[in-house]
A and B are shown apart, each in its own frame.
Chain A
Amino acid sequence: MPNEQSNIVGHHYVQPNLRKNGAIMSNWTRICTLEDIPRQGSRVVESDSGRIALFRTHDNEVFALADRCPHKGGPLSQGIVCGCKVTCPLHNWNIHLADGKAIAPDEGQTATYPVKLEGGAVFIQL
């Protein structure tokens, strides 16, 4: 488990290409409530930088990743969530929700987005 806090989660890894104009963006966008995401499931978020897969784990942790498997671009949002991993529906690659990295022996990484939970609402930093 990457984080001990029970309700506010996410991780603080931000890919350089997500920073616009050389400055770290801080526009947190409210997306939905926690209840809108099924436990051990996901929702698809349409954003300016493409589709984002928003996951909720069994332990109510929330993660946001680009909805593209590093393998062949499969929609990760459609995968099965176990622990803090998602299995891509196309070729069964397993991706860490925390850092977007493929689990060995596969290699690759998907972009991730900071997320936070406030008062039962889910925010993504876009």
Chain B
Amino acid sequence: MEKMKLVLVGNGMAGVRALEELLKLAPDLYDITVFGAEPHPNYNRIMLSPLLAGEQTVQEIIINDLGWYAEHGITLHLNKKVVKIDRKACTVTAADGTSAAYDRLILATGSKPFILPVPGNELNGVVSFRDIADVDAMIAASQQYQHAVVIGGGLLGLEAAYGLKLRGMDVTVVHLAPWLMERQLDRSAAKLLQTSLEEKGLKFLLEKRTEALLPAAAPLPQAGEGTAVPTLRVGKVRFSDGGEVPADLVVMAAGILPDDALARSAGIHCARGIVVNDTLQTFDPRIYALGECVSHRGINYGLVAPLFEMAKVCANHLAQMGIARYNGTVTSTKLKVTGIELFSAGDFSSSEHSDELVFHDAASGIYKKLVLENDRIKGAVLYGDSVDGSWYFQLMRDGADVSAFRRTLLFGQAHLGDSGHNPETRVASLPDSAEICGCNGVCKGDIVKAIRDKKLYTLDEVRSHTKASASCGSCTGLVESLLAHTLGGDYSEAPGKKPLCKCTDYTHDEVRAAIAEYRLKDMAAVRTHFEWKTPDGCPACRMALNYYLLCAWPQDYQDDPQSRYINERAHGNIQKDGSYSVVPRLFGGMCTPHQLRAIADVADKYRVPEMKVTGGQRIDMFGVKKEQLPAMWKDLSDAGFVSGHAYGKAMRTVKTCVGSAWCRFGTQDSTGLGVQLEELTWGSWMPHKFKLAVSGCPRNCAEATIKDFGVVCVDSGYELHVGGNGGIKVRVTDLLCKVESEAEVLEYCGAFCQLYREDAHYLERTAPWIERVGLEKLKAAIVADPEKRKALYQRFLVSQQPAQIDPWKERANGAMAGEFAVLRG
């Protein structure tokens, strides 16, 4: 059966995108013919600005090269402007006589620049900024001439002006309104924008009405229109107030008009654009139209995101699925001028029903304004810091009620606060439905899925698979953060990902996965399995593998002391003079006179030179010779002490405050709970050191919110906080959840410990681990899924059985004697 014929008039972004969408849905339904008035294959018109600025080349902005058309069997007529549609015969005819028959026709003729109806607008050197030919003309002019005037201080005009400035011209932007981008910005943001553009060397003339363009050669302006000689070049711009500026190049960027001339000539209903319904059909049912040339519900769109939404709908109907509808688009804007962050969306004009939230720091060049109506975002203008643009845009489109966090709304999503401050974690906390790429309508969920399913590792791969950040590129940072975030956790098979150490090309995660999957139970097996490059490893992998094996096989694996750092091998902290320190465990920081006396006796007996109360609420004895350790441990062990593990990548201490037993503010028994927690967790080997604390009330005297696992007692129960760090880089915990009983605290704590033990890389503390994998992963395993939590907790208890055999007592009784005894020579 012969295929139906589909003809596309207009080889631009909207039309070709419709073909792409169609080919996905119904690759063999049509014989396709495309007419393009320009000599180029389909290119990314948004990238004209970077092209002009010299940041991209023509080749780089081509979306589909000629090979793509050939591959899909599309007949392509370049340089052929369609001038006639015969709706009875169902044919189109180009200016050169080429014609094609259609069963279905798509009109995607785009828009044409609005050329001011002023005398001299036909002079040489007067251009618009719509296609590659315009850019070529502008670049040519910049090489020959000095003065450029851009008429129009909107998005397009500013980008043109910036590009010309980079090309070395002296550029003046002339604008009719009192401030720049008046449709997207309010006066304050526009002022900041103008200032930074002025710093980049642009000049502005605001509230100027252009009256005439004057030729360079003619000494006097012509009296009327129509007398100018077309070969003359423009030389000046004159304003209605009589002022003039020199101009060797005039760029008309005062707006665009839908190009509906062809449709009109064919008798298709037009009204400031080709009128289409919600399926993008024109009044002739065989003819569809989309893009900037259409009028949908009375609106013309000039941004790329709506065009692409239209393309999906149009393709759906052409593929005879007939279910999609286009309901219009809420648009947002970003300015593509390097070094300027600007975001604008929705309606930001205030009315009596609306409230404005404004943050204005002129010195730092930051301005944020949100317009709310009934606690819902109606409009947003961000200048200088636009990271939260997509979040506000999402809230706006969802019509979300923001009353709950209205007071901190302006500080952005990070301030809502369940994790970190970098863009990566901000992205992490976006919902899957959050739109990342506005141009192509790609949501976070789509990108994450593509990264996972297709194993994408680079920005380019994500671009080619999802189209995210492939159009205007302003969401590139977000996509990169998303990539980092997604790969960081579950997927680390990326080429170029960090290997475990120099002995192998495999990563921590790969090695751990193989230990479990292939039941590798000793280091030699791991090295053989992965074809280690060194016969017996290096300190880095030996320590990591020893830990991974111990964690995976707590009952079976024989710990290798020679793969332990000396502190863990000698169960003391090596000091800079080679002596060791001894810290007996004081559960929950609680102690008795008997215990303190025993410590004092030991210190006397072994002539401990110095003692100190530690930050973890215990007592440190310094300067002990290694040979003395077993004997000293024997005395401590006899007095009831066990090792404090103050030396290990292990659970360290539980710091507590006084709690309800004595403190007039205490809400719960923080010391009692601390002792229970320490009894549960002591001895556990971890990827890195691990500290706990229990505070008896929100005054938080035990500093629980900078611990790996912190409990803050409140009247109604216990808040569980995780991922804090008081080290080089202080990090406050994230709130994991709140529970009601001590039993739950213990279970959640054990589950958290075990998840950290099983998931984090060796030598990765909980803070960077959580920032890498995201708090959501923890919540999913520990809070949302009781089964998983209980399983984790059980595994933790199993691993604790061998771990809670006190290493000091073992050694006091003669184990590892050679480690401590000195030979005579």
On A, residues with C-beta under 8 Å from B are: 29, 31-32, 36-41, 43-48, 51-52, 54, 58-59, 72-75, 78-83, 87, 89-90, 92, 124, 126
Assuming the contacts A45-B823, A78-B570, asked whether A40 and B578 have C-beta atoms less than 8 A apart, the reply is: no
Compute how far the CA of A87 lies from the CA of B537 in the bound complex, rounded to whole angstroms: 12
Give 20 pairs: A residue, B residue, CB < 8 Å, sorted on A. A32-B823, A36-B823, A41-B561, A44-B822, A44-B823, A45-B822, A45-B824, A48-B825, A51-B822, A58-B536, A75-B578, A81-B562, A82-B536, A82-B538, A82-B542, A83-B536, A89-B567, A89-B574, A90-B574, A92-B539
With CB as the reference atom, state the residue of chain B lying closest to A29.
B825
Assuming the contacts A52-B825, A90-B574, asked whether A78 and B566 have C-beta atoms less than 8 A apart, the reply is: yes
Give min CB distance, A74 to chain B, whole Å: 7
Compute how far the CA of A34 lies from the CA of B743 in the bound complex, rounded to whole angstroms: 52
With CB as the reference atom, state the residue of chain A lying closest to B577.
A73
With a cutoff of 8 Å between Cβ atoms, the chain B residues found around residue A126 in the complex are 825
Most chain-A Cβ atoms within 10 A of its Cβ — which of B566, B578, B822, B823?
Answer: B823
Complex contact B562–A54 (CB within 8 A): no
User: Does chain A have a CB within 8 A of B298?
Assistant: no
B188-225 interface code vs A (CB 8 A; 1 in, 0 out): 00000000000000000000000000000000000000
With CB as the reference atom, state the residue of chain B lying closest to A73.
B578
Give min CB distance, A84 to chain B, whole Å: 10
Complex contact B566–A46 (CB within 8 A): no
Chain B contact residues (Cβ within 8 angstroms of A): what range? 20 to 34
Complex contact A43–B818 (CB within 8 A): yes
Compute how far the CA of A41 lies from the CA of B563 in the bound complex, rounded to whole angstroms: 9
With a cutoff of 8 Å between Cβ atoms, the chain B residues found around residue A38 in the complex are 561-562, 818-819
Choose one: B537, B578, B823, B824; the contact of A78 (CB below 8 Å): B578
With a cutoff of 8 Å between Cβ atoms, the chain B residues found around residue A81 in the complex are 562
With a cutoff of 8 Å between Cβ atoms, the chain B residues found around residue A58 in the complex are 535-536
Interface hits, B554-569 → A, CB 8 Å: 561-567, 569
Complex contact B574–A54 (CB within 8 A): no
With a cutoff of 8 Å between Cβ atoms, the chain A residues found around residue B566 in the complex are 78-80, 89
Compute how far the CA of A81 lies from the CA of B564 in the bound complex, rounded to whole angstroms: 10
With a cutoff of 8 Å between Cβ atoms, the chain B residues found around residue A29 in the complex are 825
With a cutoff of 8 Å between Cβ atoms, the chain A residues found around residue B818 in the complex are 36-38, 43
Complex contact B562–A40 (CB within 8 A): yes
Give min CB distance, A102 to chain B, whole Å: 15
Compute how far the CA of A35 lies from the CA of B564 in the bound complex, rounded to whole angstroms: 20
Compute how far the CA of A51 lies from the CA of B539 in the bound complex, rounded to whole angstroms: 24
Give min CB distance, B539 to chain A, whole Å: 4
Choose one: A37, A41, A46; the contact of B824 (CB below 8 Å): A46
Complex contact A31–B823 (CB within 8 A): yes
User: Does chain A have a CB within 8 A of B534?
Assistant: yes
Assuming the contacts A31-B823, A124-B825, asked whether A83 and B561 have C-beta atoms less than 8 A apart, the reply is: no
Compute how far the CA of A77 lies from the CA of B410 in the bound complex, rounded to whole angstroms: 58
Give min CB distance, B816 to chain A, whole Å: 9
Compute how far the CA of A97 lies from the CA of B232 in the bound complex, rounded to whole angstroms: 86
With a cutoff of 8 Å between Cβ atoms, the chain A residues found around residue B539 in the complex are 80, 82, 87, 92
Most chain-B Cβ atoms within 10 A of its Cβ — which of A36, A39, A40?
Answer: A40
Compute how far the CA of A54 lies from the CA of B824 in the bound complex, rounded to whole angstroms: 12
With a cutoff of 8 Å between Cβ atoms, the chain A residues found around residue B567 in the complex are 89
User: Does chain A have a CB within 8 A of B576?
Assistant: yes
Interface hits, B638-683 → A, CB 8 Å: none
What 5 pairs across the A-B complex have the smallest Cβ distances? Answer: A47-B825, A78-B566, A45-B825, A40-B562, A58-B536
Interface hits, B572-622 → A, CB 8 Å: 574, 576, 578
With a cutoff of 8 Å between Cβ atoms, the chain A residues found around residue B562 in the complex are 38-41, 80-81
With CB as the reference atom, state the residue of chain B lying closest to A89.
B566
Complex contact A74–B578 (CB within 8 A): yes
With CB as the reference atom, state the residue of chain A lying closest to B574.
A89
Give min CB distance, B93 to chain A, whole Å: 75
Give min CB distance, B389 to chain A, whole Å: 45
With a cutoff of 8 Å between Cβ atoms, the chain A residues found around residue B542 in the complex are 80, 82
With a cutoff of 8 Å between Cβ atoms, the chain B residues found around residue A45 in the complex are 822-825
With a cutoff of 8 Å between Cβ atoms, the chain B residues found around residue A59 in the complex are 535
Compute how far the CA of A22 lies from the CA of B539 in the bound complex, rounded to whole angstroms: 40
Complex contact B534–A82 (CB within 8 A): yes
Choose one: B536, B538, B576, B819; the contact of A90 (CB below 8 Å): B576
Assuming the contacts A32-B823, A45-B825, A78-B578, asked whether A83 and B535 have C-beta atoms less than 8 A apart, the reply is: yes
With a cutoff of 8 Å between Cβ atoms, the chain B residues found around residue A75 in the complex are 574, 578
With a cutoff of 8 Å between Cβ atoms, the chain B residues found around residue A89 in the complex are 565-567, 574
Compute how far the CA of A72 lies from the CA of B823 in the bound complex, rounded to whole angstroms: 24
Give min CB distance, A115 to chain B, whole Å: 11
Compute how far the CA of A58 lies from the CA of B527 in the bound complex, rounded to whole angstroms: 14
B537-551 interface code vs A (CB 8 A; 1 in, 0 out): 111001100000000
Compute how far the CA of A1 lies from the CA of B157 in the bound complex, rounded to whole angstroms: 71
With a cutoff of 8 Å between Cβ atoms, the chain A residues found around residue B822 in the complex are 44-46, 51
With a cutoff of 8 Å between Cβ atoms, the chain B residues found around residue A80 in the complex are 539, 542-543, 562-566
Assuming the contacts A39-B562, A40-B536, asked whether A78 and B825 have C-beta atoms less than 8 A apart, the reply is: no
Compute how far the CA of A37 lies from the CA of B534 in the bound complex, rounded to whole angstroms: 22
Compute how far the CA of A5 lies from the CA of B663 in the bound complex, rounded to whole angstroms: 71
Extra inter-chain contacts (16) besides given A31-B825, A89-B566, A90-B574, CB under 8 Å: A31-B823, A36-B823, A39-B562, A40-B562, A41-B562, A45-B822, A45-B823, A75-B574, A78-B569, A78-B578, A80-B542, A82-B534, A82-B538, A83-B536, A89-B567, A124-B825
B504-544 interface code vs A (CB 8 A; 1 in, 0 out): 00000000000000000000000000000011111100110
Compute how far the CA of A78 lies from the CA of B579 in the bound complex, rounded to whole angstroms: 11
With a cutoff of 8 Å between Cβ atoms, the chain B residues found around residue A40 in the complex are 536, 562-563
With CB as the reference atom, state the residue of chain B lying closest to A59.
B535
Compute how far the CA of A29 lies from the CA of B824 in the bound complex, rounded to whole angstroms: 10
With a cutoff of 8 Å between Cβ atoms, the chain A residues found around residue B576 in the complex are 72, 90
With a cutoff of 8 Å between Cβ atoms, the chain B residues found around residue A73 in the complex are 578
Complex contact B565–A46 (CB within 8 A): no
With a cutoff of 8 Å between Cβ atoms, the chain A residues found around residue B574 in the complex are 75, 78, 89-90
Compute how far the CA of A46 lies from the CA of B537 in the bound complex, rounded to whole angstroms: 30
Compute how far the CA of A7 lies from the CA of B185 in the bound complex, rounded to whole angstroms: 82
With CB as the reference atom, state the residue of chain A lying closest to B534.
A83
Compute how far the CA of A45 lies from the CA of B825 in the bound complex, rounded to whole angstroms: 6
B797-823 interface code vs A (CB 8 A; 1 in, 0 out): 000000000000000000000110011
Give min CB distance, A76 to chain B, whole Å: 10
With a cutoff of 8 Å between Cβ atoms, the chain A residues found around residue B535 in the complex are 58-59, 83
With a cutoff of 8 Å between Cβ atoms, the chain A residues found around residue B536 in the complex are 40, 58, 82-83
With CB as the reference atom, state the residue of chain A lying closest to B575.
A90
With CB as the reference atom, state the residue of chain A lying closest to B539.
A80
Compute how far the CA of A73 lies from the CA of B563 in the bound complex, rounded to whole angstroms: 22
Compute how far the CA of A44 lies from the CA of B625 in the bound complex, rounded to whole angstroms: 13
Compute how far the CA of A72 lies from the CA of B577 in the bound complex, rounded to whole angstroms: 9
With a cutoff of 8 Å between Cβ atoms, the chain B residues found around residue A44 in the complex are 822-823
Give min CB distance, B570 to chain A, whole Å: 7
With CB as the reference atom, state the residue of chain A lying closest to B538.
A82
Compute how far the CA of A77 lies from the CA of B365 in the bound complex, rounded to whole angstroms: 58
With a cutoff of 8 Å between Cβ atoms, the chain B residues found around residue A43 in the complex are 818, 823
Compute how far the CA of A81 lies from the CA of B567 in the bound complex, rounded to whole angstroms: 15
With a cutoff of 8 Å between Cβ atoms, the chain B residues found around residue A47 in the complex are 824-825
Compute how far the CA of A41 lies from the CA of B560 in the bound complex, rounded to whole angstroms: 11
Assuming the contacts A36-B818, A80-B563, A89-B565, asked whether A46 and B823 have C-beta atoms less than 8 A apart, the reply is: yes
Give min CB distance, A113 to chain B, whole Å: 9
With a cutoff of 8 Å between Cβ atoms, the chain A residues found around residue B824 in the complex are 31, 45-47
Interface hits, B689-746 → A, CB 8 Å: none
Most chain-B Cβ atoms within 10 A of its Cβ — which of A32, A39, A78, A87?
Answer: A78
With a cutoff of 8 Å between Cβ atoms, the chain A residues found around residue B819 in the complex are 38
Give min CB distance, B102 to chain A, whole Å: 72
Give min CB distance, B564 to chain A, whole Å: 8
Compute how far the CA of A98 lies from the CA of B576 in the bound complex, rounded to whole angstroms: 25
With a cutoff of 8 Å between Cβ atoms, the chain A residues found around residue B825 in the complex are 29, 31, 45-48, 52, 124, 126
Compute how far the CA of A39 lies from the CA of B538 in the bound complex, rounded to whole angstroms: 15
Give min CB distance, A33 to chain B, whole Å: 11
Compute how far the CA of A38 lies from the CA of B561 in the bound complex, rounded to whole angstroms: 9
